[in-house]
Amino acid sequence: MQRIPLLLALFLGVHHVSAARPARAQVNEATALTVAVAKPAERRWPETVPASGWLKPWHEAIIAAEIDGLRVTDILVDAGSAVSKGQPLVRLADETVRADLRKEEAALASARAALAKAGANADRARKMQGSGALSDEKINEYLIGEETAIADVESAEALLESQKIKLAQTTIVAADDGLITSRSVQLGAVVSSGTELFRLIRQQRVEWQAEVSARYLPRIREGLTATIVGPDDRRVRGTVRLVGPTVSTDTGRAIAYVSLPAEARTPVGLYVIGQIELETTAALTVPEAALVLRDGIAYVFTVDAEKRASRVRVETGRRNGSEVEILSGLDRSTDVVATGGAFLSDRALVRVEEEALVQLEGKPR
Question: Under CATH, which number does the domain 95-169 receive?
Answer: 1.10.287
Cα–Cα distance between 27 and 364 in angstroms, integer?
A: 22
Answer whether 0.75 is exceeded by the pTM: no
pLDDT digits 0-9 by tens, 78-94: 999 999 999 999 999 99
Residue 133 has pLDDT above 50, yes or no: yes
| Mean pLDDT confidence for 4-19 | 44
Q: What is the C-alpha to C-alpha distance for residues 253 and 26, in angstroms, rounded to an integer?
A: 60
Q: Phi then psi for 17, rounded to 5 degrees?
A: -65, -45
Domain borders along the chain are 32-45+283-362, 48-58+205-280, 67-93+170-204, 95-169
In CATH, what number does 48-58+205-280 get? 2.40.30.170
Q: pLDDT tens across 338-350, in order?
A: 887 778 888 888 8
Backbone Cα Rg of the chain = 44
Q: Are 254 and 243 in contact (CB under 8 A)?
A: yes
Class of domain 67-93+170-204 as given by CATH: mainly beta
Amino acid at position 313, single letter: R
> 198 burial class (0-12, 13-18, 19+ CB within 10 angstroms)?
buried
Give the fold, CATH level 3, of 32-45+283-362: 2.40.420
pLDDT confidence of residue 142: 85
Give the model's pLDDT for residue 32.
63
Q: 172: which strand partners?
A: 90
Q: In this predicted model, what pLDDT tens digit does every residue of 186-245 receive, in sequence order? A: 999 999 999 999 999 999 999 999 999 988 888 899 999 999 987 778 889 999 999 998
pLDDT, position 106: 96
Give the per-residue pLDDT at 165.
95
The pLDDT value recorded for residue 13 is 47
Calpha distance 325→275 (Å, rounded): 16
The C-alpha atoms of residue 107 and residue 109 are separated, in whole angstroms, by 5
